[in-house]
Chain A
Amino acid sequence: MGNNVLIFAEQMGGKFRSVAYEAICQGKKMAQGLGGKAIAVAIGAGVEAAAKDLGQYGADKVIVVDNAKLKDFTVDAYGKAFSEVVSKNDPAVVLLAATFQGKDLGGYASAALGAPLSSDCTEWASLDGGIQVKRPIYAGKAYVTVKFNSQPAVISLRPKVFLADAPDASKSAEVEKIDLALSDDDFRSVVKEIIAKTAGKIDVIEADIIVSGGRGLKGPEGFAVLEELAGLLGAAVGASRTVVDEGWRPHSDQIGQTGKVVSPKLYIACGISGAIQHLAGMRTSKCIVAINKDPEAPIFSTADYGIVGDLFKVVPALTAEIKKAIG
């Protein structure tokens, strides 16, 4: 059995994403424990040029599948390319970031290889020559520790939990380019159009700070006070389920068990009572602030700091005070 770790180096528009560096750094540490190598896999169109730089994050080698047909991510085509590379290299662990792409690709590779899978892992440890992981279930209401009984194990890491080490500019990885025959059958699904995120809008998953609003905002126009604070902090604006179900905010902003699970440095909950399914989605935030007029609101039991009061007075005051504080 192999002892290498194969890591999917996720890219967007030819540029590697920070989650790729996070995964490579962890992959390198896993490989050291297993006595193997960290092999990154870059798939896309025009990804070869930047590939050797993945060595700066710990990749011993980078396998590149560079093909104009692979410009857009589709599960079929990327899945085929990725799982062919995996099966040729017989790794102990297949590592990805638990992004949309990473989860899809992990599922495909797991099925293609008959390999066990665990998504969204938040901890890992070397154990008996293999890897054991810990991951949230029920959106974080509980955690399971998972042991794999077969190799390779397909593991995706929750973004922003494992931070990448600073790149070491003195290092460079060996690059191996692979040509892969792709047939029409690999393109049964085709991306026709990409509607990019609204310019300047920060996604809640990637944000370091989230200002989030609930029923206390009273309507879609209420979010203006949150937008102002978020704009000052470079933060994303999140929303509770009620707010999304009412149509005040798009579902992509929803935080909680049927929305997104986030762990920013700072989470400011405004007018959110703190239903259990919402708390599940944000309780791993490093610092939580709650602003609510009901002193009994459950959100206060999860928050580090709370202010009891009318958010329409407290939030603008907070914006003004932070403006003073950070100049």
Chain B
Amino acid sequence: MNIVVCVKRVPDTETKIKIGGEGTKIDPAGVEFIISPFDEFAVEEAIRVKEKLGKGEITILSLGSADAQTIMRKAYAMGADKGVHLNDPSECQDTLAEAQALAAALKGMQFDLLLFGKQAVDYDNGAVGVQVAKLLNIPVVTRIIKLDVADGKAIVERESDMGKEIVEVKLPAAFTAEKGLNEPRYPKLMDIMKAKKKPLEEKPAQLEAPKLSIVKMDYPPARPPGKIVGEGEEAVPALVNLLKNEAKAL
């Protein structure tokens, strides 16, 4: 069983976002970067599938600036075997161009499972997994919360607009991970040391000219200052009055 997991380096979700000088990107100063949390579920799932089957190889694929290699090493420490870094010094902001570059790299790779997070928690488009699958002409199941692999097929449970679904899919196939799929492990110190020696191939990302441009980046509009209505249950009638007559929210 060969598994490829696509991961992206993003700012930690606890980070405050500061817009950079040029106004179309964030200021990375002081920001801690992590594997996008949904991608981390995907990495963990790949390791669990390999552990369960007792065989297989896990390849990490990441598109991004040179710093992407730091989070690839984190995935190695969790248990991935090797990886390919598609170097993109431009930090592309067009999800289609990114998907095309990932698909181009994947065309030369052998895999049964191709895993993504359901979205990277930076641009939040939530499209790359589906785009790559379409470009490779393989089926895709999104937002999976359970994955079982057997006999060239996968049975997955996924979140849908209806509730939950059980879906059967032929392999090779792509999947995007939703929270709830698993609880990612913390690598042990020894695994972190070993991760440094695992192979990491670097090549330039084959990026087409972006078909969209970011005109500007803004902060969300500030909320008008609120008020403390009072303390304890005595304040409740005043609150209900405000909700009913001022905010018209009831």
A→B interface (CB under 8 Å): 10, 12, 17, 72-76, 79, 99-101, 103-104, 106-108, 110-112, 114-120, 132, 136-150, 153, 188-197, 209, 233, 244, 250-252, 254, 256-259, 265-266, 275-277, 280, 283-284, 286-290, 295, 300-310, 313-314, 317-318, 321-322, 325-326
Contact indicator B233/A305 (Cβ below 8 Å): no
- Alpha-carbon separation in the docked complex, A305 to B138 (Å): 50
- Alpha-carbon separation in the docked complex, A117 to B211 (Å): 9
Quick one: closest A residue to B143, CB to CB?
A100
Main secondary structure of the interface of A (DSSP, over half): mixed
Given known contacts A104-B142, A117-B95, A118-B125, is B159 in contact with A305 (CB within 8 Å)? no
Contact indicator A326/B217 (Cβ below 8 Å): no
What B residues does A289 contact at CB under 8 A?
A: 239, 243
What B residues does A114 contact at CB under 8 A?
A: 96, 211
Contact indicator B134/A112 (Cβ below 8 Å): yes
B→A interface (CB under 8 Å): 11, 13-17, 19, 24, 26, 37-38, 94-96, 99, 121-135, 138-143, 145, 155, 159-170, 173, 178-180, 210-220, 223-224, 226-233, 235-237, 239-240, 242-244, 247, 249-250
In the assembled complex, the CB of B29 is this many whole angstroms from the nearest CB of chain A, namely 15
- Alpha-carbon separation in the docked complex, A52 to B76 (Å): 55
What A residues does B226 contact at CB under 8 A?
A: 288, 290, 300-306
In the assembled complex, the CB of B248 is this many whole angstroms from the nearest CB of chain A, namely 9
What A residues does B239 contact at CB under 8 A?
A: 289, 305, 307, 318, 321
Given known contacts A75-B141, A106-B127, A288-B226, is B215 in contact with A146 (CB within 8 Å)? yes
Contact indicator A146/B214 (Cβ below 8 Å): yes
A117-B95, A118-B125, A305-B243 given. 12 additional CB < 8 A pairs? Answer: A79-B130, A103-B130, A116-B94, A136-B124, A136-B220, A189-B140, A190-B168, A258-B38, A277-B14, A284-B220, A307-B228, A321-B240
In the assembled complex, the CB of A309 is this many whole angstroms from the nearest CB of chain B, namely 4
- Alpha-carbon separation in the docked complex, A112 to B125 (Å): 17
- Alpha-carbon separation in the docked complex, A18 to B178 (Å): 25
Contact indicator A142/B126 (Cβ below 8 Å): no
Contact indicator A197/B249 (Cβ below 8 Å): no
Contact indicator A194/B212 (Cβ below 8 Å): no
What B residues does A143 contact at CB under 8 A?
A: 217-220
- Alpha-carbon separation in the docked complex, A148 to B135 (Å): 21
| A142: contacting residue among B217, B243, B244, CB under 8 A | B217
- Alpha-carbon separation in the docked complex, A140 to B24 (Å): 15
Quick one: closest A residue to B231, CB to CB?
A308
Quick one: closest B residue to A105, CB to CB?
B130
Quick one: closest A residue to B128, CB to CB?
A107
What B residues does A303 contact at CB under 8 A?
A: 226
- Alpha-carbon separation in the docked complex, A288 to B180 (Å): 28
| B121: contacting residue among A139, A193, A252, A314, CB under 8 A | A139
What A residues does B129 contact at CB under 8 A?
A: 107
- Alpha-carbon separation in the docked complex, A70 to B189 (Å): 50
The 5 A-B residue pairs with the shortest CB-CB distance in the complex, in nearest-first order = A107-B130, A107-B127, A111-B134, A116-B211, A317-B233
Quick one: closest A residue to B242, CB to CB?
A305
In the assembled complex, the CB of B119 is this many whole angstroms from the nearest CB of chain A, namely 8
Contact indicator B162/A197 (Cβ below 8 Å): yes
In the assembled complex, the CB of B170 is this many whole angstroms from the nearest CB of chain A, namely 5
Contact indicator A138/B143 (Cβ below 8 Å): no
Contact indicator B14/A141 (Cβ below 8 Å): no
What B residues does A116 contact at CB under 8 A?
A: 94, 96, 210-212
What A residues does B121 contact at CB under 8 A?
A: 138-139, 257-258
Contact indicator B131/A145 (Cβ below 8 Å): no
What B residues does A147 contact at CB under 8 A?
A: 212-213, 215
In the assembled complex, the CB of B162 is this many whole angstroms from the nearest CB of chain A, namely 5
Contact indicator A115/B211 (Cβ below 8 Å): yes
Quick one: closest B residue to A259, CB to CB?
B179
In the assembled complex, the CB of A294 is this many whole angstroms from the nearest CB of chain B, namely 12
Contact indicator A119/B127 (Cβ below 8 Å): yes
- Alpha-carbon separation in the docked complex, A99 to B125 (Å): 12
Quick one: closest A residue to B19, CB to CB?
A142
- Alpha-carbon separation in the docked complex, A287 to B249 (Å): 7
What A residues does B229 contact at CB under 8 A?
A: 305-307
Contact indicator B130/A104 (Cβ below 8 Å): yes
Centre residue among A17, A72, A75, A153 by max chain B CB count within 10 A: A75
Contact indicator A307/B235 (Cβ below 8 Å): yes
- A/B interface sample: 13 pairs, CB < 8 A: A76-B139, A116-B212, A138-B17, A139-B124, A142-B220, A147-B212, A189-B168, A191-B165, A233-B250, A254-B179, A302-B226, A307-B230, A313-B232
Contact indicator B124/A119 (Cβ below 8 Å): yes
What A residues does B94 contact at CB under 8 A?
A: 116
- Alpha-carbon separation in the docked complex, A74 to B228 (Å): 48
| A326: contacting residue among B145, B232, B250, CB under 8 A | B250
Contact indicator A148/B220 (Cβ below 8 Å): no
Quick one: closest B residue to A149, CB to CB?
B211
In the assembled complex, the CB of A106 is this many whole angstroms from the nearest CB of chain B, namely 6
Contact indicator B96/A115 (Cβ below 8 Å): yes
- Alpha-carbon separation in the docked complex, A274 to B110 (Å): 45
| A111: contacting residue among B19, B131, B170, B235, CB under 8 A | B131
| A141: contacting residue among B16, B231, B236, CB under 8 A | B16
